[in-house]
Amino acid sequence: YAIIGSPGFDKKGFIEIHQFENESWEKVTKISNPEDEVGTYFGADVSMSGDEILIGNYNGEKSYVFTLENDSINLKHTLQSPENSEGKFGRALSFVDDKILIGATYGQKAHIYKRNSNGSWSVAHDLSSHNRNRSITGVKVPCENGKAGDYGCNSIDMLSFITPSDLSGGNNTELNDIWGWTDSTTGKEYALVGLRIGTSFVDVSDPVNPVVLGLLPTATYGSSWRDMKVYKDHVYIVADNVGNHGVQVFDLTQLRGITQFTEFTMTYHYDLVGSVHNIAINEETGFAYAVGIGSASKDEYMCGAHIIDINDPSNPTFAGCLGDKTTGRYNDGYIHDGQFVIYKGPDSDYYGQEIAFTCNETALGIANITDKSNLKIISKFENSNFGYVHQGWLSDDHRYFFVNDELNESYGYDDVQTTVIFDLIDLDNPIIVNTYRSELNTIDHNNYVKGELLYQSNYSSGLRILSIADPKNPIEVAYFDTYTAGDIIDYIGSWGNYPYFSSGTIVISSMEEGLYVLKATDGGNLGIDKGHSLPDKFNLKQNYPNPFNPMTQIQYELPREGEIDLTLYNTLGMEVMKLDRGIKPAGVHQISFDGSHLPSGIYFYQLRSGNFVKTRKMSLLK
């Protein structure tokens, strides 16, 4: 038998059982969620022993034992979590003969059940991790020799760390997005941390000794997707797959004077939309843009970007709908994320107008949103090689847009994490000028620009900071890896970051790990003069595009001045031509290669500099 779980289907989940007979697989039956409850994720893990099947329902904190008899399914036992709090009981399972092991990952526990003589099940042992997640405060953990404690790093110190349990007042939960607020009256800095169960508020004014002030619970029920932005001392919070959650509005000045953990209530509520994936705010105009709309009170409010006038936080009002229905995976104009600005870039046709730069799943969208009653699509850029145009951020001069493609790595379009760089010199015709390849086996998620640095939250590889002094050719200059188990193409680790505190404090949310409070190492790569970020090692990047016809770009990095030799070889190892050579200064170098005079085929290019040798493969297809 093959047992296939679909835990996310209809937000409830189900199981299919297939049997292999006559050299083919045939579906035998389907098991629906016994609780029929939204958000429980029935089928997140399964295990089979003989004719019995164990199925986890981890958001419901239950697991079920079914028997398979003559292609008929019967529910025999329901195992409820022994814990009172949310622990993800049933996220990991094992079933062998008369013993069952059920993991509760949030609780960092596992429970072993034994079958009784009457056929029932009871807990025989409880196991708890000896390496439990604990907050770290009161002492800075410096980045030394590539490590800050157990965490991989370069030029980033860890000032403190707070677990999900401590962020939530003792609940077992997980993190999602993060933002920040600086109190204009007191100058205090606060991290606004999205949790599955709500939003946590943390005073990070003393970043070595952060203080968790309390929690604003979710407006409906728990969500893996929560996002927030700030305007005029109010935070606007949305969540996805949560029914009629709407936009929670919370007056952040209520955090002043709080000395103990407090459960807050929202100040105002905007309910014309329900489930919302992200929210963006243009602080220059006082308009919020709710995007990724999953539900709304009326069909007319379902659009790519639902526009809200928030100039009066006590009375947010609907102001319009933006969407380009030639984009989105379902041609519905869906917008996943975006940045909305008063444009100050090089295209004089639009200078000084409010422009939307949106990530529309299948395309980059650009629109003029100055007149909310007359929104105008300017252009779009689509590419069949996009997996999912997820999120992006503008350079400070509005010339470039750095975009995350969240699915290209998992779809196999690219074997390493990439960042797509758009040149916006002409908003009517955006073009891709380069695709940065990090050489990391991970997935990009959210990135933000501050000056000449790009702060990327790249899931399993944590925070990666790139110099964009040369915007077309980013260079990694610092990092802090929040996920110590190693890089992997999966949706684990760092979700988001906020690098905009004037103190230089950086806060990062890492989903199952917690909140990291960081700062640049004194004398490290982020402390060098503006515009002089240099690579810390030799590197030869994969050519782009690849395959190519006939032009491609090859980039290499030198940490110091030296003599280099960049040579092209055929598959027989014979030299075809010199691509570049001579004494080169430290920095990033890029050459253009024209293969029009060569036949189609596989070629190898090799960089030599001192003891460094690196070879890569490229394909010329005519």
431 has a pLDDT exceeding 60: yes
> Token digits for 17?
């059982």
In this structure, of 100-114, 359-373, 409-423, 439-453, the range with the lowest mean pLDDT score is: 100-114
Predicted confidence band of residue 383 (pLDDT cuts 50, 70, 90): confident
Contact between 347 and 424 under an 8 Å Cβ cutoff? The reply is yes
Residue 150: inside a domain: no
pLDDT of residue 405: 95
How much of the chain is in helix, strand and coil states, percent to nearest 5? Answer: 5, 50, 45
What pTM did the predictor assign? 0.79
Domain stops at, among 475, 495, 526: 526
Backbone angles phi, psi at 60, to 5 degrees: -90, 0
Which 3 state secondary structure label does DSSP give 347? Answer: coil
The CATH number assigned to the domain holding 569 equals 2.60.40.1930
Q: Is residue 134 part of a domain?
A: no
Residues 195-220 have pLDDT tens digits of 999 999 999 999 999 999 999 999 99
User: Is residue 94 in a domain?
Assistant: yes
Mark whether 164 and 209 lie in a shared domain. Answer: yes
Domain that holds residue 43: 2-128
Across 5-26, average pLDDT: 87
d(CA 333, CA 310): 24
Residue 354's nearest CA partner among 411, 283, 253, 441 is: 283
Q: How confident is the model at residue 85 (pLDDT cuts 50, 70, 90)?
A: low
**260: Cβ contacts below 8 Å, ≥ 6 apart:** none
Mean of the per-residue pLDDT values for the chain?
A: 92
Measured distance CA(7)–CA(475) in Å, rounded:
39
* Mean pLDDT score, 238-256: 96
Of 108 and 115, which is predicted with more confidence?
Answer: 115
Q: What is the CATH number of the domain that holds 485?
A: 2.130.10.10
Residue with tokens 């916006």: 424
**Residues 112 and 187 both lie in one domain:** no
Domain end position, chosen among 81, 113, 128 = 128
Whether the predicted pLDDT of 529 surpasses 50: no
Is residue 138, in this structure, part of any structural domain at all? no
Band (528; pLDDT cuts 50, 70, 90): very low
Q: What is the mean pLDDT of residues 267-281?
A: 97
Among residues 178, 182, 209, 210, the alpha carbon closest in space to that of 192 is found at 178
Q: How far is the C-alpha of 613 from the C-alpha of 604, rounded, in Å?
A: 13
**120 φ/ψ angles, rounded to the nearest 5 degrees:** -80, 175
The confidence score (pLDDT) of residue 140 equals 96
The predicted pLDDT at position 384 comes to 80
pLDDT at 534: 66
349, 440: one domain: yes
pLDDT value at 531 more than 60: no
Nearest Cα neighbor of 296 from 325, 275, 316, 321 is: 275
**C-alpha–C-alpha distance, residues 421 and 620, integer Å:** 23
Q: Contact 303/295 with Cβ under 8 angstroms? A: no
At CA 466, angle to CA 461 and CA 469, rounded to 5? 175
**441 and 298 co-located in one domain:** yes
Q: Which of 353, 357, 261 is nearest to 304 (CA)?
A: 357
Distance of CA 620 to the CA centre of its chain: 34
pLDDT value at position 409?
92
Integer Cα distance of 77 and 64 in angstroms: 6
Flag whether 443 is in a domain: yes
* Helix (H) or strand (E) segment spanning residue 165: helix 164-167
pLDDT on residue 379: 98
Examine residue 437 and state whether it is found in any structural domain, yes or no.
yes
Asked if the structure places residue 532 within a domain, the reply is no
Q: Are residues 264 and 377 located together in one domain of the fold?
A: yes
246 & 160 share domain: yes
Q: Cα 93 to chain center, whole Å? A: 27
**Four-residue CA torsion sign, 387, 388, 390, 394:** positive
Residues 561 and 519 in one domain: no
Cis ω for the linkage preceding 550 (within 30 of 0): yes
- Please state, in angstroms and rounded to a whole number, the distance separating the CA atoms of residues 241 and 295: 9
* Residue at 42: amino acid letter: F
Q: Is the pLDDT of residue 331 over 50?
A: yes
**Is 581:566 a contact under the CB 8 Å cutoff?**
yes
| Residue 111 and residue 237 in one domain | no
Give how far the C-alpha of residue 226 lies from the chain's centroid of Cα atoms, to the nearest Å.
Answer: 12
Where is the domain boundary, 473, 493, 526? 526
Please indicate, yes or no, whether residues 210 and 286 belong to a single structural domain of this protein: yes
Q: For the segment 458-504, what is each residue's pLDDT rounded down to a tens digit? A: 999 999 999 999 999 999 999 999 999 889 999 999 999 999 999 99
Mean pLDDT of 311-333: 95
Measured distance CA(430)–CA(433) in Å, rounded = 9
The answer to whether residues 49 and 167 belong to one domain is no
561 pLDDT more than 90: no
Instruction: For residues 88 and 209, state if they share a domain.
Output: no
State the DSSP string of 382-402: E-TT-S-EEEEEE-TTSSEEE
pLDDT value for 532: 47
- What is the C-alpha separation between 361 and 393, in angstroms, rounded? 15
Over range 560-568, report the average pLDDT.
Answer: 90
Selected residue with higher pLDDT from 38 and 320: 320
d(CA 327, CA 136): 45
Distances (CA, A) of 507 to 130, 234, 242: 27, 19, 26
Domain count for the chain, please give it: 3
249 in Cβ contact with 279 (< 8 Å): no
Enter the tokens of residue 249. 């509005």
Q: Compute the residue count for the chain.
A: 622
Classify residue 137: in a domain, yes or no.
no
Model pLDDT, residue 441: 93
Are 124 and 162 in the same domain? no
